[in-house]
């Protein structure tokens, strides 16, 4: 029992640390999603993001395929990392629940 409890505690510490690491990685990713607008038959790229509750478009002009690919990749990573953070949140909740017993959640931090 002692061994299992220690493994679970280690896993909880790992999950908490990993959550911070993923949030750090998310903060590093450039903000916004790339969209294309067709104006007078030509395509122009914009970065669309939310700022203070408002949707903001940042003009990027005509980008080459490599740059478009880079923005697409960033978007994919952001979605992936967010999904993994929510997985970690579930793990943390589960592990804290098991380890808590009669103790409060705060005492585990």
Rounded CA separation 17/95 (Å)? 14
| 81 touches other proteins by CB under 8 A | yes
Nearest 5°: the CA angle 53, 59, 62 is 145
Measured from the CB of residue 42, what is the shortest distance to other proteins in angstroms?
Answer: 33
Asked whether 86 and 19 are in contact (CB, 8 A), the reply is: no
Rounded CA separation 54/16 (Å)? 32
Nearer to other proteins by C-beta: 28 or 42? Answer: 28
| 10 touches other proteins by CB under 8 A | yes
| 6 touches other proteins by CB under 8 A | yes
Nearer to other proteins by C-beta: 84 or 98? Answer: 84
CA atoms within 13 A on the CB side of 105: 8
- Extract the runs of DSSP E, i.e. beta strands, from the chain: 33-39, 42-51, 54-61
Measured from the CB of residue 91, what is the shortest distance to other proteins in angstroms?
Answer: 6
| 30 touches other proteins by CB under 8 A | no
Q: Return residues touching other proteins (CB under 8 A).
A: 2-7, 10-11, 14-15, 17-18, 21-22, 25, 80-81, 84, 87-88, 91
């Amino acid at each position: 029992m002692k061994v299992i409890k220690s493994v679970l505690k280690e896993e909880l510490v790992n999950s908490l640390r990993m959550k911070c690491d993923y949030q750090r990685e998310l903060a590093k990713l450039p903000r916004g999603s790339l969209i294309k607008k067709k104006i007078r038959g030509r395509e122009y790229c914009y970065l669309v993001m939310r700022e203070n509750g408002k949707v903001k478009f940042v003009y990027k002009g005509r980008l080459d395929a490599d740059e478009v690919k880079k923005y697409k990749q960033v978007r994919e990573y952001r979605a992936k990392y967010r999904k993994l953070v929510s997985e970690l949140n579930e793990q943390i909740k589960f592990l804290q629940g098991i380890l808590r017993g009669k103790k409060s959640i705060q005492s585990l931090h």
